[in-house]
Amino acid sequence: MQTLMRTAMALVATALTLTAAPASAQTPPPDVVAKHGEITPAGFLNMRMGMTLRRAARVGNVRFTKVQRSPGSSCAYSSVRNRRVNVMLRRGRIVRFETKGQPPYTKPSRTPGLGNIRVGDAADKVETTFGSAVRRSPHKYVEGGSYLDIAYRAGKYKGQSMRFGTDADDRVITVIGGKTGATRLVEGCS
Protein backbone atom coordinates (compact mmCIF):
# COMPACT_ATOMS: atom_id res chain seq x y z
CA MET A 1 0.00 0.00 0.00
CA GLN A 2 2.82 2.42 0.89
CA THR A 3 4.60 1.65 -2.39
CA LEU A 4 1.41 2.36 -4.33
CA MET A 5 0.95 5.65 -2.45
CA ARG A 6 4.58 6.71 -3.11
CA THR A 7 4.20 5.87 -6.80
CA ALA A 8 0.99 7.91 -7.05
CA MET A 9 2.63 10.87 -5.31
CA ALA A 10 5.64 10.67 -7.64
CA LEU A 11 3.35 10.66 -10.68
CA VAL A 12 1.46 13.71 -9.40
CA ALA A 13 4.74 15.54 -8.70
CA THR A 14 6.02 14.71 -12.19
CA ALA A 15 2.77 15.91 -13.79
CA LEU A 16 2.95 19.18 -11.85
CA THR A 17 6.59 19.67 -12.86
CA LEU A 18 5.84 19.06 -16.53
CA THR A 19 2.87 21.41 -16.66
CA ALA A 20 4.70 24.12 -14.68
CA ALA A 21 7.90 23.98 -16.74
CA PRO A 22 8.29 26.77 -19.30
CA ALA A 23 8.63 25.67 -22.93
CA SER A 24 12.32 26.64 -23.00
CA ALA A 25 13.11 24.20 -20.17
CA GLN A 26 11.65 21.15 -21.89
CA THR A 27 13.88 18.45 -23.32
CA PRO A 28 14.23 18.14 -27.10
CA PRO A 29 12.27 15.34 -28.74
CA PRO A 30 13.33 12.00 -27.25
CA ASP A 31 12.92 10.17 -30.56
CA VAL A 32 16.24 11.49 -31.90
CA VAL A 33 18.28 8.34 -31.43
CA ALA A 34 22.03 8.53 -31.89
CA LYS A 35 23.58 6.24 -34.46
CA HIS A 36 27.14 4.96 -34.19
CA GLY A 37 29.56 7.44 -35.75
CA GLU A 38 27.46 10.55 -35.09
CA ILE A 39 28.68 13.51 -33.07
CA THR A 40 26.25 13.71 -30.15
CA PRO A 41 26.02 15.86 -27.04
CA ALA A 42 27.68 12.97 -25.16
CA GLY A 43 30.55 12.27 -27.54
CA PHE A 44 31.65 10.59 -30.76
CA LEU A 45 32.02 6.87 -31.47
CA ASN A 46 32.70 5.32 -28.03
CA MET A 47 34.48 8.46 -26.81
CA ARG A 48 32.65 10.49 -24.17
CA MET A 49 32.83 13.98 -22.71
CA GLY A 50 35.19 14.11 -19.76
CA MET A 51 37.62 11.47 -21.08
CA THR A 52 41.32 12.13 -21.53
CA LEU A 53 42.69 11.78 -25.07
CA ARG A 54 44.60 8.66 -24.06
CA ARG A 55 41.43 6.93 -22.85
CA ALA A 56 39.41 8.21 -25.82
CA ALA A 57 42.00 6.84 -28.26
CA ARG A 58 41.78 3.46 -26.58
CA VAL A 59 37.98 3.16 -26.43
CA GLY A 60 37.40 4.82 -29.82
CA ASN A 61 40.18 2.86 -31.53
CA VAL A 62 41.44 6.09 -33.13
CA ARG A 63 44.59 8.18 -33.25
CA PHE A 64 44.74 11.88 -32.47
CA THR A 65 46.92 14.63 -33.90
CA LYS A 66 49.38 16.48 -31.68
CA VAL A 67 47.60 18.65 -29.10
CA GLN A 68 47.62 22.38 -29.91
CA ARG A 69 47.51 24.41 -26.69
CA SER A 70 46.08 27.89 -26.42
CA PRO A 71 48.62 30.21 -24.73
CA GLY A 72 47.66 31.16 -21.18
CA SER A 73 44.62 28.91 -21.19
CA SER A 74 43.61 25.48 -19.94
CA CYS A 75 42.04 24.87 -23.36
CA ALA A 76 43.57 22.85 -26.21
CA TYR A 77 42.61 21.23 -29.52
CA SER A 78 43.38 17.96 -31.26
CA SER A 79 41.82 16.09 -34.18
CA VAL A 80 40.72 12.54 -34.80
CA ARG A 81 42.99 11.41 -37.65
CA ASN A 82 41.24 10.55 -40.93
CA ARG A 83 37.83 11.70 -39.63
CA ARG A 84 37.89 15.53 -39.98
CA VAL A 85 36.64 15.76 -36.41
CA ASN A 86 38.18 18.26 -33.99
CA VAL A 87 38.29 17.75 -30.24
CA MET A 88 38.31 20.55 -27.67
CA LEU A 89 39.95 19.83 -24.33
CA ARG A 90 39.69 21.72 -21.06
CA ARG A 91 42.16 20.79 -18.33
CA GLY A 92 43.07 17.69 -20.33
CA ARG A 93 39.48 16.41 -20.67
CA ILE A 94 37.24 16.32 -23.75
CA VAL A 95 34.48 18.94 -23.68
CA ARG A 96 33.37 19.01 -27.34
CA PHE A 97 33.63 17.37 -30.75
CA GLU A 98 33.10 19.30 -33.99
CA THR A 99 33.28 18.98 -37.74
CA LYS A 100 33.36 21.83 -40.24
CA GLY A 101 32.79 22.00 -43.96
CA GLN A 102 34.59 23.82 -46.72
CA PRO A 103 32.83 26.35 -48.96
CA PRO A 104 30.59 25.98 -50.93
CA TYR A 105 29.20 23.43 -48.38
CA THR A 106 27.41 21.43 -51.05
CA LYS A 107 29.33 18.21 -50.44
CA PRO A 108 28.03 16.41 -47.31
CA SER A 109 30.56 15.79 -44.55
CA ARG A 110 31.66 12.26 -43.74
CA THR A 111 30.78 12.64 -40.07
CA PRO A 112 27.16 13.45 -39.21
CA GLY A 113 25.77 14.99 -36.06
CA LEU A 114 22.86 13.73 -33.98
CA GLY A 115 19.86 13.09 -36.23
CA ASN A 116 22.19 12.23 -39.16
CA ILE A 117 22.58 15.96 -39.87
CA ARG A 118 25.70 16.70 -41.93
CA VAL A 119 27.58 19.73 -43.15
CA GLY A 120 25.81 20.69 -46.39
CA ASP A 121 22.30 19.79 -45.16
CA ALA A 122 19.57 22.42 -45.11
CA ALA A 123 18.85 24.08 -41.75
CA ASP A 124 15.26 22.89 -42.20
CA LYS A 125 16.48 19.36 -41.44
CA VAL A 126 17.72 20.53 -38.01
CA GLU A 127 14.45 22.31 -37.28
CA THR A 128 12.36 19.34 -38.46
CA THR A 129 14.46 16.87 -36.43
CA PHE A 130 14.51 18.83 -33.17
CA GLY A 131 11.31 20.87 -33.47
CA SER A 132 10.63 23.63 -30.97
CA ALA A 133 13.79 22.76 -29.01
CA VAL A 134 15.87 24.67 -31.60
CA ARG A 135 16.95 28.17 -30.61
CA ARG A 136 18.17 30.29 -33.54
CA SER A 137 20.60 33.18 -33.08
CA PRO A 138 22.69 35.23 -35.54
CA HIS A 139 26.11 33.87 -36.53
CA LYS A 140 28.95 35.99 -35.19
CA TYR A 141 31.15 35.74 -38.31
CA VAL A 142 29.00 34.56 -41.23
CA GLU A 143 26.80 37.35 -42.56
CA GLY A 144 23.23 36.07 -42.84
CA GLY A 145 24.21 32.84 -41.05
CA SER A 146 22.78 31.44 -37.83
CA TYR A 147 23.49 29.19 -34.88
CA LEU A 148 20.88 26.52 -34.23
CA ASP A 149 21.24 25.39 -30.60
CA ILE A 150 19.60 22.44 -28.89
CA ALA A 151 20.30 22.42 -25.14
CA TYR A 152 19.44 19.39 -23.03
CA ARG A 153 18.29 20.16 -19.49
CA ALA A 154 17.22 16.63 -18.58
CA GLY A 155 17.70 13.03 -19.65
CA LYS A 156 20.85 11.27 -20.77
CA TYR A 157 22.30 14.44 -22.37
CA LYS A 158 21.62 16.73 -19.37
CA GLY A 159 24.02 19.70 -19.35
CA GLN A 160 25.09 19.01 -22.92
CA SER A 161 24.02 20.41 -26.27
CA MET A 162 24.28 20.42 -30.03
CA ARG A 163 25.09 23.47 -32.14
CA PHE A 164 24.68 23.65 -35.90
CA GLY A 165 26.16 26.70 -37.63
CA THR A 166 24.61 27.78 -40.93
CA ASP A 167 25.61 30.07 -43.78
CA ALA A 168 23.54 32.77 -45.51
CA ASP A 169 21.95 30.09 -47.73
CA ASP A 170 20.75 28.26 -44.58
CA ARG A 171 23.10 25.32 -45.15
CA VAL A 172 24.80 23.63 -42.19
CA ILE A 173 28.51 24.55 -42.09
CA THR A 174 29.47 23.27 -38.62
CA VAL A 175 28.28 20.46 -36.37
CA ILE A 176 29.26 20.70 -32.69
CA GLY A 177 28.32 18.47 -29.77
CA GLY A 178 29.45 18.59 -26.16
CA LYS A 179 29.12 20.30 -22.82
CA THR A 180 26.77 23.27 -23.18
CA GLY A 181 29.32 25.94 -22.22
CA ALA A 182 31.90 24.52 -24.64
CA THR A 183 29.50 24.28 -27.60
CA ARG A 184 28.70 27.98 -27.26
CA LEU A 185 32.33 29.12 -27.53
CA VAL A 186 32.36 30.81 -30.92
CA GLU A 187 36.12 31.14 -31.23
CA GLY A 188 37.05 27.74 -29.86
CA CYS A 189 39.56 28.17 -27.04
CA SER A 190 39.59 31.98 -27.29
Mean per-residue pLDDT over the chain, rounded: 82
CB of 39 within 8 A of CB of 176? yes
Contacts 24+ apart (CB under 8 A), 82-90: 83/110, 83/111, 84/109, 84/110, 84/111, 85/39, 85/44, 85/111, 87/53, 87/56, 88/178, 88/182, 88/185, 88/188, 88/189, 89/53, 90/182
Higher pLDDT, 34 or 70: 70
Determine which of 8-12, 35-39, 86-90, 148-152 has the lowest per-residue pLDDT on average: 8-12
Determine which of 48-62, 73-87, 122-136, 155-169 has the lowest per-residue pLDDT on average: 73-87
Domain boundaries, the chain: 28-183
